[in-house]
Structure 1
Amino acid sequence: MLKLIERLGSIEASRASDTLTLPFELRMRGRLKAQSDGGQEVGLFLDRGPVLRDGEGLEADSGEIVIIRAAAEPVVTARIDAGLALARLCYHLGNRHVALAIGADEEGGWVRFPPDHVLEELAERLGATIHHHQAPFDPEPGAYAQAGHAHGHSHGHSHGHSHDHSHDHSHGSEDGHGAHEHDHVH
């Protein structure tokens, strides 16, 4: 088994001898056994840290390099005009504490998230057009995330989410609460 032990950050594909294509849920894990796209048995033995990003390199204890690819998986893309409408949509969806991929292209702005009828309904109420499809899901890493920076804490979400919101409340606190790319214990 190829033991992948070090995060290299984003690398050129030509440096890698193989690829490992994983869905978002598995890219959140630091420990995993899988089969590479080339058919090798691989094991992740990484520090608890940020989500593995599409294009990130991992180095094995033997020196081989494997590049991570985000697998196509069921997603919802909500399309809306770029600018204030997109900002408003991102704000309201982000306030639900879900991972979001955000972008813009020639058709306007978009927000991508895993299928969820409540989020889809919210997006439609805000004026977005919803598209269900298969695509790689590589959400925003969060404002406090840094490539290669390990968040050595466990965050169990045991606190209540019934705040009254009549006070100034920041969801992006220094504990990484607003980032949501840290490992969750399953």
Structure 2
Amino acid sequence: MITLREILPREGGVEDEVVLPFEQRRHSRLRVVLASGRDAAILLARGASMRDGDRLGGSDASGALIAVRVIAAPEDVYRVTGDGLIRAAYHLGNRHVPLELGDGFLRLERDPVLRELLEGLGFEVAEAREGFDPEPGAYGGRHGHAHAHEHEHEHA
């Protein structure tokens, strides 16, 4: 079995991929099946989460190093468009809704109550099946990669 223990820098080669929905990418410990059909265990530092495009590093049963790209699985989401999207983001943020900020759109998990709210504010809300990669937020704990160097420093 392949064991993936760290989030690597995004640049670089990969030997395989894993396609995961948002809910699974939020977990730091997970058993998965890679695109190649091989079984893998993701054992990241507690609190780490995976984003679309991340590279995970680890080794296979023989000890050979491997890098795996994380791909956001298509999910049932709303794609919100219209003028003044910052206003929509404000109202959704007040409700602690996981939200992806795109160029001219917002993406969020489907919820009829939120759809009604957004349409009531004058935004267009379309159902879509797309990868969902919301912002990690101010307390997202996004520093899950390992360091190959030693020195003292603080991380926010």
TM-score normalised by structure 2 residue count: 0.84
Name structure 1 gaps, 5 residues minimum: 151-186
Q: Residues 18 and 38 of structure 1 are in contact (CA less than 8 Å); yes or no, is this contact kept in structure 2?
A: yes
Name structure 2 gaps, 5 residues minimum: 146-156
Partner of 2:130: 135
Partners of 1:38 and 1:11 lie apart in 2 by 21
Alpha-carbon displacement from aligned partner over 1:83-120 (angstroms, at most 9, x marks no partner): xx21111000111111000122xxxx211111101111
1:113 pairs with 97, 108, 126, which one? Answer: 108
Partner of 2:149: none
Q: Residues 107 and 132 of structure 2 are in contact (CA less than 8 Å); yes or no, is this contact kept in structure 1?
A: yes
Partner of 1:77: 79
Partner of 1:148: 143
Q: Residues 76 and 131 of structure 1 are in contact (CA less than 8 Å); yes or no, is this contact kept in structure 2?
A: yes
Partners of 1:5 and 1:89 lie apart in 2 by 37
Partners of 1:74 and 1:44 lie apart in 2 by 25
Give 1:144 shift.
Answer: 4.2
Alpha-carbon displacement from aligned partner over 1:14-62 (angstroms, at most 9, x marks no partner): x100000100000001111110011110111111234201111111133
In structure 2, the CA distance between the partners of 1:86 and 1:142, relative to structure 1 (3 Å rule), is same
1:53-64 pair list within 5 angstroms: 53-61=51-59, 62=63, 63-64=65-66
The one-letter amino acid of 1:127's match is G
- Does the residue aligned with 1:142 lie in a helix, a strand or coil? coil
Aligned Cα RMSD in Å? 1.8
Structure with more strand by fraction:
2
Partner of 1:161: none
Q: Residues 11 and 55 of structure 1 are in contact (CA less than 8 Å); yes or no, is this contact kept in structure 2?
A: no
1:124 and 2:123 matched:
no
Partners of 2:126 and 2:139 lie apart in 1 by 30
TM-score normalised by structure 1 residue count: 0.71
1:154-165 pair list within 5 angstroms: none
Instruction: Report percent identity of matched pairs.
Output: 40
The one-letter amino acid of 2:134's match is P
